[in-house]
Amino acid sequence: MLAVETVQRITEFTGDGLPVLTLYVRIDPADRAAYISQVDAMLHEVRGVAGNKDLPHEVRNSLRKDIERINEVRSEPQPRTLAVAYFSCSARGLFEQVELPRPVRDRVMIDETPWVRPMVAILDEYHRLRIAIVDRGSAHFWELYQDELADLGTLRDRTLRKPDFAYGDREYETHNKVELLARKHYRKVVDQLAPDARNGLFDLLAVGGHPEELPEFTDFFPRELEERFAGTFAVDPHTVTRGVIKEEAAPILEKWERDEERQLVSDILERRATGLPTALGLTECLWGGTTAAIDHLLVQEAAQAPGVVCDESRYLAEAGDTCPICGRPTRKTPDVIDELVQTVMDEGGRIEHVLAETPLQEHLVMGRLRFPLPPME
Ligand SMILES: [Zn+2]
């Protein structure tokens, strides 16, 4: 599973005078095996650069090692993967292969820093759900991310079992002791979760356990946990299985994501109503993509529309044989929405695919803009 730290390491990396090789390889779901020859073709391109005798020896050497390394590890990716990104700077010890759940345009980049925008735009859509299964003496942490559940370990504390034959003051004392130990335990669990929340290691939090005990725990939440708290579910911490945790936690994450989508759609419609820069529908959004105006693009999940592209000036439109910007002939595409998504990623914008039922269903795409749309060509 892709760790937050890995993404941070890649995005913050700099070659410091040496080249970072970035490769994005798009996977064709109808022909997944073609992936290998796509990588070959890209590496061939890099080999050309590495063979350039005008470049310093160190640079060429690093690139050559990058090629070798990618050649060694490339293998057909996991079934859900729709693109693979490689980031490599052999001379400075960077090598990462990241499988992405959404398509990205094929691309080779050699620069002093990794080309992370498409990866960031894709990962931005997926939220990390931290799960804490708690009772009065133990806690077991899990992470649900991109439909995979990872075990993050446990925390165990001393508990006092209520004695069967306690009486009088003893009973009262024992009861207080039980409560005290439970509170100490909950505080420790919170202390373990809060720094991870502050450091961005998870976006959302779900809590499972005995329903009567859960409020005792969630009452201890400081603001950073309160803000990320997405829901609870009832399970017996001692007998719960991986399968059950996933089954209970996944709908919490899903509900949160659908709510977020509805909120984003209504925010843009509200901006529209108050005259703030927005783009509504395909015509406006394609022009917004062409002019690099789109800051946040909402796309109806699985929406497709034919259109035209100019690869020279990145002009996007629904129709037209000639690019009005440079005068070259346009290229027809069966899905100009995909071209728009790739363009917005390149321009550093955010993307959100919307699955929820919202007014976006009739518009297909809408965007929050950085500036008002320039007059159309
Ligand atoms: Zn053009």
Cα 287 to ligand 1 centre (Å)? 13
What is the percent of the chain where pLDDT is above 70?
95
* Number of domains forming the structure of the chain: 3
Cα 275 to ligand 1 centre (Å)? 30
Same domain, 226 and 318: no
Cα 376 to ligand 1 centre (Å)? 14
Same domain, 162 and 118: no
Q: Is the pLDDT of residue 70 over 90?
A: yes
Cα 51 to ligand 1 centre (Å)? 32
Average pLDDT value over all residues in the chain: 93
How far apart are alpha carbons 361 and 55 in whole angstroms?
52
196-215 pLDDT, tens digit each: 999 999 999 999 999 999 99
Same domain, 345 and 297: yes
223-258 pLDDT, tens digit each: 999 999 999 999 999 999 999 999 999 999 999 999
How many other CB atoms sit within 10 Å of the CB of residue 313?
Answer: 14
Neighbours of ion ligand 1 (CB under 5 A): 310, 312-313, 315, 323, 325-326
Same domain, 117 and 224: no
Domain boundary among 73, 92, 123: 123
Domain boundary among 83, 100, 123: 123
